[in-house]
Structure 1
Amino acid sequence: MKLDELQNKIDILEVVQKYVKLKRVGKYYAGLCPFHSETKPSFYVSPERQIFKCFGCGEGGNVIYFLMKIENLSFREVLEKLKEEYGLEIDKISQSKISSKILEINYAALKFFRQQLNTNYLEAKNYLIERGLTQKTIEDFELGYSPGGTSLRDYLYAQGYSLEELKQAGLLDENNFDRFQQRIIFPLRNEKGDLVGFTGRIFPEKEKAPKYLNTPETDVFKKSEFLYGLFYSKDYIYSQKEAIIVEGQIDFLLSFQNGLKNIVAVSGSALTETHLRKIKKYTSNLVLAFDNDEAGFRASLRANLLAQKLDFQVYQLIYDEKDLGEFFKNKRDLAEIKKIYFLDYLLETLDKKFGQGNKKTYLEIFLPQIQNLNLSEKDKYLDILSQKLNIPKDFLFEELKKMPASLTFSEEEKIVPVLDFEKNLSLKAVSLIYAFNLNVFEEEFIPFLSEEAKIIYLKFKENNLTFEEIDELEMRKRFFEETRINPQKEWEKTLKELKRIYYKKTIEKLKEELRFSSSENYDKIIQEINYYLQELRKIEKNG
């Protein structure tokens, strides 16, 4: 049985219902998402299309991806599970053969990269030594150099590997040139020690090239699941009962070299639940050591919320330099590093940034971070906040109750009020449509709605409900206490504001993607940014 035939034989609804309680909503089935915390259903299954989609966290896909995600299984393991449970005869998919070939090619490429660093490109090695790495660390972690052009392709081609095989391994670009052009190479070994890919750091510096470039996703490498250094550090993490997490390879290498061995790096990817589940096998104590800048601060807030969900105890590493790599490059001593409970660190940080001067922003940042704690822990921090900010505890408790249970920060989200404003605006748009029976085109507004508003809109549409039947939303009460409005003008004004927010968020997201983009995607992302900038200018020009 082929893969597409397999998917047709298994009913996704039957599979998902083993994990999620579902209720029929029109032609869909809805329930609470198993992949993030929520109190109202945003997880939908379509038996007709044999897919699932969560409008809250964005997860979606077919039955095989659902099982991979919920059971934390590999593609191959899911096939074996289905074979056992359903008694299906599944063809031996050439997955393992392809994977083995990719690993074989990666080892051959690594030999080439190491030769280049040690013989032909000593200036790259000198750069690494200037950054603080020793010869032993360079050798132990198998660092190399890729000159670019077609040098790697020619080397591997001469050993009998085809262009198609090299592309499958992610070592060539779309024009069949080496993917890594003039880059210092960091080999990526998975938890078992398999060489699954590479990260290349540009050297010498180039203005328009992305600083770091990873192997693209292949049969053996998934960036969002990969933790750099876990193969080397997992025994230290287990024995020391805590894992320190940093942003990049150099931070990891300098820390490991200087005795901080219970450490991993996310390596160009945002921290994910998959990362944390890997760490959870070795410890339930997580120590955050992201860069000491605004982006690092936001990443720490998001990481704390993710880790709380998986019952980690979360701490923060305190040091003066921008990152741990710089700390060790400056010959600082391990004794100078301080570790404190993350929420205590956050209180100290907010005291310095805002103090009594900006209580609103202080609470907007801190309250979501205690939402998932147990009652006694919440009570403790509400007492602290009440004393620090001179705000009644009862008021703080009511504010906390308003917080959504799964509130998280993404790289594009600056502070909570921006999200609340956008959400309310989206609900207002839906309210206008149904309260006044406006004749509008879906494609004109749906892309700009918040996920919550999309779900509500689909509820109306799928069930042919009238505005009065959705009393739980209280939309009239919230937005239309003043009834003497021009509905069409109010709609146009609301849609314009939704588009403005959407374009700004999209631009920020693309700028972030630009930081880690491959050379072949760089111009494409620039074009997208320019397009959204033009759309934004049109809106602002027309008032």
Structure 2
Amino acid sequence: MISKSTIDQVYETARLEEVIGDFVQLKKSGSNFKGLSPFTDERTPSFMVSPVKQIWKDFSSGKGGNVVAFLMEHEHFTYPEAIKYLAKKYNIEIEETERTDEQKEEANERESMYLVSEFAKEHFAEMLWNTELGKAIGLSYFKERGFTDETIKKFSLGYCLDQWDGFTKAALDKGYQLEYLEKTGLTIVKEDTANPGDPRKFDRFKGRVMFPIHSMSGRVLGFGGRILNNDKKAAKYLNSPESEIYHKSKVLYGIYYAKQAINKEDNCYLVEGYTDVIQFYQRGIQNVVSSSGTALTPEQIRLINRLTKNITVLFDGDAAGLRASIRGIDLILEQGMNVKVCSFPEGEDPDSFAKNNELEDITIYLQENSKDFIQFKAHLLAEEAANDPIKRADTVRDIVNSIAKIPDAIKREIYIQECAQIMNISEAVLFGTLAQIGKKEIADVSKKLQQEHKAFEVVKNEVAAEKVDVQYELERKIIEMLLLYGKEQEEFEDLVLKENEEGDLILEPESLEAKVYEKIYLDLQDDEIELTNDQFRKIYYKLIEQLNEKEDFSVNTFLSELDQEMVSEVSSILMEEEKYVLHKWESKDIYPKDKKHGVAQLVSETILTLRCYLIKKRMERLQKNTQNVEEDHKETLEEIMNYIQLNKLLNKKLNRVLS
């Protein structure tokens, strides 16, 4: 268990914008920051971060919360893991008691797999540095690659001894369960027909140097292992199999180490292998990641897209490999990113080039040889198809297909004009081809929509229009006012119900100076109003208690004491109006009024509106009671008339006309 003092210190120290900035590229937007949602695939920012309130809201997915909620949602951390991550980031010493055996057993499956993977990383590093075979085989290999001790430790590189079950035995001896060793793919389990019930266990990565694969937050998800002997039957590189925590298509090797540099440099270098990443990083170019030898996927591109719009793909000097690799770049263009490519001299790859050159030379080479992808592709294919009309026609279609992937219409037109010059073909032909591709895509989408429309026709008459829940919205507004203005002292105009000389009921205004939370609490108490929404009611009483007891009440501290479901609800309430910032009203000469200028009026009107609504509901219930003609309803009718009169007075005060 982590001590409360540690948790309090973490909340006081952690800066939400800094933590989220490690995962999402944030841009200033007034007093807030905005960025692309890390939870959905979008091209227009709908993710807002408030440094003042220390909360975030993702309007595309509806998620929101504080700094811990973000890590739990994005990285699938448990609450203690999120606290530990923040403590490590801000160099806070963690006070905690030893977990009991019962608590260890309660860890869920994902957590158990993370724990096993973390142990494996430490075990392989131990074998590399502290065993004779590890030093003679694994460490010497890394040294031959030119990696320094600091780099090897930085990337947690290791070695799995060339034994059938050395690692597995060590893990089982430490109390880790075979079930999770198998699920992470670290151990291969096979039934032994000779001894049923006693399965045979093998280390998947035996005799390999190990490259741990981290998530963006630094958790070990899986491993890549390279074999060092000349066994032709064994794969040179072997990755962990797909599991609950490791999805190869959603991971980029090195993203944990590169994320801050990518954000800072506003560019990401994409290479193919583990050693390419490590060699570049060691040389001083840290904004580099690898797709780990797989074809690039949309999920991997979106990881980069959160940090930068610019990506430079680095290729080996092998021309055949280059042609094969550029086919996957259309996916990057579809995401609206700016793509450059850079190929190294023949016989060189990113690893060898970084190893054999100084940082300044590498930087100059990348600057001078990084070319815009569309122009690069056009030049490359134009050279190949120079004397073959059929090939030239195919080349034109290939390039225009790539241009068609770009969402920005202005960029598409500029590329068409440039490619027309490179390919020595008229712009009209290229624009015509682009239009044909566009028409085909529109036709495909239209066909799909028609199919969906037919399905919708069957059920559309059954779907009722969504009604606004007035009481829910008013109760939500009360929570919002308490959170934003609870401690503020305001002058209110209180309304006292009196009879005038003619015997008519009137509302007489009286001035009252009070704090916002006091006014709301007293008004609801006087009218015996209880919030009906369970979540709002719990938040309301916690708020009133803290606003009354704590002189230095702050939303951030309040959030730290709530469960995560309440945190999400509170952040949604606080950030609701921030979504209008995304519309940039000021750029259209529209200036919304700041609510803070009329807090007293806002509080009074909200309470009055809630009173009117509840009076109306009460009248409806009373009217139902009068439907039985056999009973005497004189008292009920008098009560209804009194409510009607009171309702008119309240609505008059709200400047509303009743029919």
Give the TM bin, normalised by the shorter chain: 0.5 to 0.7
Report Cα offsets for 1:447-470 as digits up to 9, x if no partner.
xxxx99x999x99xx9xxxxxxxx
Within 5 A, what are the aligned runs for 1:322-361? 322-331=348-357, 333-334=361-362, 335-337=364-366, 338-357=369-388, 358-361=391-394
SS of aligned partner of 1:133: coil
SS of aligned partner of 1:177: strand
Contact 2:336 2:408 in 1 (8 A): no
**Which residue identity is paired with 1:368?**
N
Alignment-derived partner of residue 277 in structure 1: 302
Residue of structure 1 aligned with 2:257, choices 228, 232, 235: 232
User: Whole-Å Cα distance in 2 between the matches of residues 336 and 370 of structure 1?
Assistant: 27
Within 5 A, what are the aligned runs for 1:414-425? none
Alignment-derived partner of residue 100 in structure 1: 111
Establish whether residue 396 from structure 1 lines up as the match of residue 430 from structure 2. yes
Q: 1:383 to 1:110 in 2, by over 3 A?
A: closer
Within 5 A, what are the aligned runs for 1:235-254? 235-254=260-279
Query: 1:95, CA displacement in angstroms?
Result: 10
Residue of structure 2 aligned with 1:171, choices 178, 182, 186: 186
RMSD of aligned alpha carbons: 4.0
Contact 1:171 1:180 in 2 (8 A): yes
Alignment-derived partner of residue 157 in structure 1: 172
Alignment-derived partner of residue 205 in structure 1: 230
Contact 2:242 2:248 in 1 (8 A): yes
Report Cα offsets for 1:498-536 as digits up to 9, x if no partner.
xxxxxxxxxxxxxxxxxxxxxxxxxxxxxxxxxxxxxxx
User: Whole-Å Cα distance in 1 between the matches of residues 439 and 285 of structure 2?
Assistant: 35
Alignment-derived partner of residue 499 in structure 2: none
Contact 2:227 2:236 in 1 (8 A): yes
SS of aligned partner of 1:200: strand
Q: 1:278 to 1:179 in 2, by over 3 A?
A: same
User: Whole-Å Cα distance in 1 between the matches of residues 394 and 430 of structure 2?
Assistant: 13
User: Whole-Å Cα distance in 2 between the matches of residues 106 and 359 of structure 1?
Assistant: 51
Tell me, which stretches of 5 or more residues in structure 1 are unaligned? Answer: 1-33, 38-67, 81-93, 408-450, 463-543
Alignment-derived partner of residue 156 in structure 2: 142
Report Cα offsets for 1:353-397 as digits up to 9, x if no partner.
233544123213211111135443333333333334333322222
Q: 1:224 to 1:296 in 2, by over 3 A?
A: farther
Report Cα offsets for 1:295-329 as digits up to 9, x if no partner.
443333322x2222222111112421442012123
Alignment-derived partner of residue 124 in structure 1: 138
**Which residue identity is paired with 2:269?**
I
**Which residue identity is paired with 2:311?**
L
Q: 1:229 to 1:95 in 2, by over 3 A?
A: farther
Within 5 A, what are the aligned runs for 1:280-319? 280-291=305-316, 292-303=318-329, 305-319=330-344
Establish whether residue 363 from structure 1 lines up as the match of residue 396 from structure 2. yes
Report Cα offsets for 1:418-467 as digits up to 9, x if no partner.
xxxxxxxxxxxxxxxxxxxxxxxxxxxxxxxxx99x999x99xx9xxxxx
Establish whether residue 380 from structure 1 lines up as the match of residue 405 from structure 2. no
Query: 1:242, CA displacement in angstroms?
Result: 0.7
Percent identity, aligned pairs only, is 27
Q: 1:163 to 1:386 in 2, by over 3 A?
A: closer
Q: 1:209 to 1:102 in 2, by over 3 A?
A: same
SS of aligned partner of 1:155: helix
**Which residue identity is paired with 1:258?**
R
Residue of structure 1 aligned with 2:247, choices 217, 222, 226: 222
User: Whole-Å Cα distance in 2 between the matches of residues 377 and 404 of structure 1?
Assistant: 15
User: Whole-Å Cα distance in 2 between the matches of residues 397 and 174 of structure 1?
Assistant: 58
User: Whole-Å Cα distance in 2 between the matches of residues 277 and 271 of structure 1?
Assistant: 11
Contact 1:36 1:406 in 2 (8 A): no
**211-220 vs 374-383, greater mean Cα deviation:** 374-383
Report Cα offsets for 1:38-77 as digits up to 9, x if no partner.
xxxxxxxxxxxxxxxxxxxxxxxxxxxxxx9999x99x95
Contact 2:41 2:302 in 1 (8 A): no
Report Cα offsets for 1:324-361 as digits up to 9, x if no partner.
01212333631223222212222232233233544123
Contact 2:270 2:314 in 1 (8 A): yes
**Which residue identity is paired with 2:113?**
I
Alignment-derived partner of residue 111 in structure 1: 122
SS of aligned partner of 2:336: coil
Within 5 A, what are the aligned runs for 1:39-78? none
Query: 1:232, CA displacement in angstroms?
Result: 0.7
**Which residue identity is paired with 1:350?**
L
- Taking structure 2 as the reference length, what is the TM-score of the superposition? 0.47
User: Whole-Å Cα distance in 2 between the matches of residues 262 and 201 of structure 1?
Assistant: 24
Q: 1:297 to 1:401 in 2, by over 3 A?
A: same
Query: 1:404, CA displacement in angstroms?
Result: 5.6
Query: 1:281, CA displacement in angstroms?
Result: 1.9
Q: 1:274 to 1:173 in 2, by over 3 A?
A: same
User: Whole-Å Cα distance in 2 between the matches of residues 405 and 228 of structure 1?
Assistant: 39
Alignment-derived partner of residue 291 in structure 2: 266
SS of aligned partner of 1:289: strand
User: Whole-Å Cα distance in 2 between the matches of residues 340 and 296 of structure 1?
Assistant: 14
User: Whole-Å Cα distance in 2 between the matches of residues 378 and 149 of structure 1?
Assistant: 56
User: Whole-Å Cα distance in 2 between the matches of residues 35 and 135 of structure 1?
Assistant: 40
User: Whole-Å Cα distance in 2 between the matches of residues 403 and 36 of structure 1?
Assistant: 23
Q: 1:364 to 1:268 in 2, by over 3 A?
A: same
**Which residue identity is paired with 1:323?**
D
Within 5 A, what are the aligned runs for 1:410-489? none
Report Cα offsets for 1:58-108 as digits up to 9, x if no partner.
xxxxxxxxxx9999x99x959x9xxxxxxxxxxxxx996222222222222
User: Whole-Å Cα distance in 2 between the matches of residues 168 and 405 of structure 1?
Assistant: 47
SS of aligned partner of 2:284: coil
Q: 1:406 to 1:232 in 2, by over 3 A?
A: farther
- Taking structure 1 as the reference length, what is the TM-score of the superposition? 0.56
**Which residue identity is paired with 1:242?**
N
Report Cα offsets for 1:130-162 as digits up to 9, x if no partner.
223222211211111112411101111111222
